[in-house]
Chains A and B, each alone.
Chain A
């Protein structure tokens, strides 16, 4: 059963990484705005595609 210490250590290590990531995210203001990111991801503004590459087809991202 001693392997449980290994698993607890490994799990805690990952939990620690996640905790650090969480603290980083909060400090960096990642969650200051919890409204606009959800809306912003919907918009992929269309850009005229170079004809040589896309044969004149438009990306359909704008077709919602």
Chain B
């Protein structure tokens, strides 16, 4: 008996269109950020300084562009591979609108400076909770669809979607454990080294399970479809999947090589990263070899062209990644634009081109028509490819050159470029070329939008596409474990509640160890908690996204200890909620900036960086001089710190503002001596207090046997 049913194309169309919309927005924000690096005047107002624009860009392209791309591709392919409509139209729509609301919330809160200060996880706690809920909705909808399938075998693409769902859920929950002090502000529960480890375990796996595995699922569906030939080796695709997911999760520490993370953890990350080459390249070759005997069609077909370059970029990025996790290469590449180039090979090459190929393939099918212009699609392909090259190649050079300049010594043993700014200005041309590459890439996207618009106008949405398939045989008789499934699949509400319970139990189980082991945090006796004013200053440092350009992690190299001072120790960061090690040095490291310059230097520098560092590319921060410091939350902040184990005295929260006043008066008095009339209630005073404190606790009392740097 054949059953008739209809595929839901409307939800696919919705997700596909917002993919394009947010993609364009995210890329334009990225271009803005790129230009801000060469034209500091483009840091419009406090809301659009680089430190806030950069998280906006990364969140937009990862979670809005790629995220919606995943959902569009998965909703289309799941239905066809499982021969059924999605489990619930209502859940599909809740998923769609929920995710768009999250994106809008992100687009509003990030420019306002509401950030948790952890890369790719900047969104504040209410949005984190919303993400969890929408993710659960997506999960119920996907697993519900799998349960009511008419095709016994789960095609490999579905396995990739399942792994994505499971792992992202866990990563997001573990990394987002934070203590709120208000609706817009929270502190990461973890501190210092621990926070860094959790963050990069998350960060790396966000790349793995948000940007890679779901798109591999899309590759295994759309590439064979577009080529109209089966994947080169289905067996290899199965091995690719299982090997990849078992290896990926352990590679996170390679983001923290030469940091204060213990060596054994660093080595673990490296070993697993190298092992990852095997499944990654297995997958790349499997994708490319699918086109064996069909390469003549690649010449004509823009969709296949996009897929070929995407898969090639996947292969390149997954070879480069493991190589970058070798310590000797990482020593050169880390903190430089090399890494930026590397992630964009993945981002605009792999994710971008996979998405474009998918869009060109899907839209004509959803609208029952032909693509408006193959020629324009091909033009988009060439512009996009050119854009990738212009983006990445200059940054590879820039990263390499700048790193060598950082490390260059004269024969007498002095740094050749003691002024960090000199090394930055040397690569300004590369920054311009990168912005050019980005522009070319975006022009290509605009051509695609025109092409798609014309295609849509020529066709008509097949909102519900009829299909037929026989039901799954014996489904009620054979599956011994099928009863509760079948019971629950008809009860979405109960399933929602159950899933939430399961997720909550998981979260609690993972939370408990941190409560228990808090006393084990290693401490250095001279390292003391921040004063209230410094804590405020630190929160402003986080709010402004200073970590997007400044690291706080001096690696144990002579070139770094000469330039910055004593290398970083794990025990220095025990009160840092969140850690602010950073991952990119567009400006110098700030770990040892405390006490390096007088207060007045910072005062002038934050007002106009070029006044202290001629040619500086740093944005000015005049709003810090206008905004009054919000001292009404001081006691709440100290309370939160006490809850997380920072050893303030019990009665300190009540006295905190008095302490704060005294310290800001002292700074104002010191500024006055330098001829600066400053107001003590402004944010800038707190920022100065924090900057003068950073990394000084250990500087004063370097342990014997460790040479203190001059």
**Residue pair A49, B224 in contact (C-beta under 8 Å):** no
**Residue pair A30, B154 in contact (C-beta under 8 Å):** yes
**Residue pair B466, A9 in contact (C-beta under 8 Å):** no
Residue of B nearest to A17 (CB): B166
**Residue pair B506, A35 in contact (C-beta under 8 Å):** no
Known A6-B510, A30-B154; judge A11-B262 contact (CB<8 A): no
In the complex, A16 Cα to B180 Cα: how many Å? 32
**Residue pair B224, A41 in contact (C-beta under 8 Å):** yes
B549 interface residue per 8 A CB criterion: no
**Residue pair B234, A34 in contact (C-beta under 8 Å):** yes
**Residue pair B467, A44 in contact (C-beta under 8 Å):** yes
B517 interface residue per 8 A CB criterion: yes
What is the interface residue range for chain B against chain A?
35 or more
In the complex, A53 Cα to B530 Cα: how many Å? 66
B364 interface residue per 8 A CB criterion: yes
**Residue pair B368, A1 in contact (C-beta under 8 Å):** no
Known A6-B510, A9-B513; judge A34-B238 contact (CB<8 A): yes
In the complex, A64 Cα to B677 Cα: how many Å? 75
In the complex, A2 Cα to B574 Cα: how many Å? 12
Which residues on the B side are within 8 Å of A10 (C-beta)? 170, 174, 510
**Residue pair A3, B230 in contact (C-beta under 8 Å):** no
**Chain B 142-170, CB within 8 Å of chain A: the 1/0 string?**
00000000010111100100110011001
Which residues on the B side are within 8 Å of A50 (C-beta)? 466
Instruction: From the candidates B162, B163, B249, B265, name the one contacting A4 in the complex (CB within 8 A).
Output: B265
What is the interface residue range for chain A against chain B?
35 or more
**Residue pair A2, B520 in contact (C-beta under 8 Å):** yes
Report the stretch among B116-124, B194-202, B304-312, B602-610 that lies at the interface.
B194-202
Instruction: From the candidates B197, B242, B246, name the one contacting A3 in the complex (CB within 8 A).
Output: B197
Which residues on the B side are within 8 Å of A49 (C-beta)? 462, 465-466
In the complex, A33 Cα to B235 Cα: how many Å? 9
Q: Is the interface of A mostly helix, strand, loop or mixed?
A: helix
In the complex, what's the smallest C-beta–C-beta distance from A15 to chain B, in angstroms?
A: 6
Which residues on the A side are within 8 Å of B93 (C-beta)? none
Known A3-B194, A9-B510; judge A60-B364 contact (CB<8 A): yes
**Chain B 4-42, CB within 8 Å of chain A: the 1/0 string?**
100000000000000000000000000000000000000
Which residues on the A side are within 8 Å of B167 (C-beta)? 14
Known A2-B521, A47-B4; judge A42-B194 contact (CB<8 A): no
**Residue pair A7, B162 in contact (C-beta under 8 Å):** no
Which residues on the A side are within 8 Å of B235 (C-beta)? 34
B468 interface residue per 8 A CB criterion: yes
Known A6-B513, A42-B228, A64-B228; judge A1-B162 contact (CB<8 A): no
**Residue pair A15, B249 in contact (C-beta under 8 Å):** yes
**Residue pair B462, A42 in contact (C-beta under 8 Å):** no
Interface residues of B in 170-229 (CB under 8 A from A): 170, 174, 190, 193-194, 197-198, 201, 221, 224-225, 228-229
In the complex, A47 Cα to B249 Cα: how many Å? 43
B647 interface residue per 8 A CB criterion: no
B623 interface residue per 8 A CB criterion: no
**Residue pair A1, B238 in contact (C-beta under 8 Å):** no
**Residue pair A57, B517 in contact (C-beta under 8 Å):** no
Known A37-B153, A54-B462; judge A42-B230 contact (CB<8 A): yes
In the complex, what's the smallest C-beta–C-beta distance from A25 to chain B, in angstroms?
A: 7
Which residues on the A side are within 8 Å of B231 (C-beta)? 38
For this complex, 26 residue pairs linking A to B, each with C-beta atoms less than 8 Å apart, are A1-B194, A1-B522, A1-B570, A2-B194, A2-B517, A3-B197, A7-B174, A9-B510, A13-B170, A15-B249, A30-B153, A30-B154, A33-B153, A37-B155, A37-B234, A41-B80, A41-B81, A41-B225, A45-B467, A47-B4, A47-B467, A49-B465, A53-B462, A53-B463, A54-B460, A54-B462
Residues of B within 8 A of A (CB): 4, 80-81, 151, 153-156, 159, 162-163, 166-167, 170, 174, 190, 193-194, 197-198, 201, 221, 224-225, 228-231, 234-235, 237-238, 242, 245-246, 249-250, 252, 261-262, 265, 364-365, 368-370, 459-460, 462-468, 506, 510, 513-514, 517, 520-522, 570
